[in-house]
Amino acid sequence: MSGFQFPSPIPNTLESRQANRHAVVLGGSIAGLLAARVLLDHFDRVTLLERDQFPMQPASRPGVPQGQHVHGLLLQGQQILEQLFPGLVEDLIEAGAISLDWIADWKFFSMEGWLEQHASGLRGICCSRLLLEWYLRQRLLDNDRFHLQPGCSAQGLVFESQPTPRVTGVMLRTAVETSDKPSIAADLVVDATGRHSKLPQWLAALGYEKPPETQVNSFLGYASRWYRRPNDAVAQGVIIASKPGECKRGGVIYPVEGNCWIVTLSGIAGDHPPSDEAGFMEFAQSLRHPMLYDLLQTAEPCSAIHCYRRTENQWRHYEQLLAMPRGVVALGDAVCCFNPIYGQGMTAAALGAITLKQCLQDNQTRPQSHWEKHFQGQLAKALNTPWLMATGEDFRWSTTEGKRPGWVARQLQGYFDRILQLSLTSAETHRAFIQVAHLVKPPTVLFKPAILWQALTQ
């Protein structure tokens, strides 16, 4: 990272002065960092608790076992991050991230074949999760109202029942064992601890119901390896999709900083790529098209092979709870996590952060008796589209477990298949498809008369 300079720090001011108010964020991954950024506009102090120790440079850490794998930042996520951290795109490119046109620079062998390519202007940045998380953390540390406490995890909630039931802090476990039970006071606690969140159990211990959960599991597993990009290879991405009834396997070449590729191979329904080199390459050779395998023949591996298997879609429905204490909210994977093959996770975290920002702003202008509950409802609305997209794709496979969609959803899936087929040759349709996939446009744009007519008459 030599020569890389950060822009001016986040303004050290508040949108609305609330003296001595303190927010605590649990979890130091992308969702927690983005929540902390939003909270800096509304609280005098923001403390982030994380059980890991953070590396000085972009590097993996135990709390993010999937950090070495491909993490796509969708266009909607990129726009939100640029809003929260002005200059982010330019900074990451300076730090080595790759700027690609999501249509012109991606070779996408879909279920229907190769999608057409054209200069679309839909440019996105490609970098590792390791670089992005490190960058966000450094930007936050430039603000003297932000405090990072590594080696520290939450063990429960501090609660008071009178005059209004509310969370007033967090009980802690630190790296240094003491005889007492330390805690930290907070006016707001944000749970961003991910899939393994303990908030449902903590609420139950306080006498509240646990949130209902929905799971959809396609039993996908994947394996990733970093490669040096060959000198004669252009910086572009490659996606080879799986196809029900033909092949359970897929793969992606994702260009990142340092002239590297992250190569991720995936398999549905337990057909998982192995962690040994020979098996990894045999798996790559078995994909529906040989391009990815052929490109690896001249690429030099520069990492071990990393495997990951915890990929089910899971939604904790806090929005359905009849009662919750004030002073606590949840977002990110602690609420809803997606099959990572669709690249929605970081963008869903960004949607959670921007929803939190809007709810805090609304509560300042029109105070609500329980804005936290309103936030969970608004977050559920924001997550509904990516959830339907991810689970709809997973339900293409008969082996997927979960409540299957009804007749209307199945008909829509058939229409989207027509859209994908039309994207083989239609630039307009391909552009609309990418905008929907990247959550910058609603699915209704795929029903514009010109697209609808072509899709139904092709």
Strand pairing class (328-330; 221-228): unpaired
Q: What is the CATH topology of the domain spanning 22-71+132-215+312-392?
A: FAD/NAD(P)-binding domain (3.50.50)
Q: pLDDT confidence of 17, banded at 50, 70, 90?
A: very low
Per-residue DSSP letter, 38: H
Q: pLDDT confidence of 174, banded at 50, 70, 90?
A: low
- Assess whether the previous peptide bond of 212 is cis (omega < 30° from 0): no
Domain with CATH 3.50.50.60 in the chain: 22-71+132-215+312-392
Q: What is the mean pLDDT of residues 51-74?
A: 89
pLDDT at res. 4: 54
Cβ 33 vs Cβ 10: under 8 Å: no
Alpha carbons 306 and 309: distance in angstroms, whole number? 10
Q: What is the mean pLDDT of residues 115-130?
A: 96
Q: Please state, for a pLDDT cut of 70, what percent of the chain lies above it.
A: 94
Q: Does position 177 have pLDDT exceeding 70, yes or no?
A: no
In the predicted model, what is the mean pLDDT of the chain? 92
Domain with CATH 3.30.70.2450 in the chain: 219-308
Q: Does position 427 have pLDDT exceeding 70, yes or no?
A: yes
Query: Tens digits of per-residue pLDDT, 183-192?
Result: 999 999 999 9
Mean pLDDT is lowest, of 87-101, 210-224, 407-421, for: 407-421
pLDDT at res. 118: 96
- 219-308: which CATH number, 3.40.50.620, 3.10.310.10, 3.30.70.2450, 3.40.50.2000? 3.30.70.2450
Q: What end-to-end distance do the CA atoms of the chain give, in Å?
A: 51
Mean pLDDT is lowest, of 5-9, 192-196, 264-268, 432-436, for: 5-9
Mean pLDDT is lowest, of 55-69, 116-130, 188-202, for: 55-69
Query: Tens digits of per-residue pLDDT, 352-381?
Result: 999 999 999 999 888 888 999 999 999 999
- Helix/strand/coil for 170: strand
Alpha carbons 121 and 103: distance in angstroms, whole number? 9
Q: Does position 8 have pLDDT exceeding 60, yes or no?
A: no
> Tokens representing 339?
């099959």
**Structural element, H or E, at residue 157:** strand 152-160
Cβ 137 vs Cβ 6: under 8 Å: no
> Which residue(s) pair with 264 in the sheet?
224, 252
Q: What is the mean pLDDT of residues 26-40?
A: 97
Alpha carbons 169 and 187: distance in angstroms, whole number? 7
**Structural element, H or E, at residue 375:** helix 371-394
> Tokens representing 97?
């991230």
Half-sphere exposure of 447 (CA within 13 A, CB side): 5
Alpha carbons 364 and 144: distance in angstroms, whole number? 24
- The structure's pTM equals 0.94
Question: In b/e form, how buried is each residue of 105-117, taking b as 16+ CB within 10 angstroms?
Answer: bbbbbbbbeebeb
Q: Does position 2 have pLDDT exceeding 50, yes or no?
A: no
In the block, residue with structure tokens 């822009």: 7
Q: Which of 341, 272, 348, 350 is nearest to 69 (CA)?
A: 341
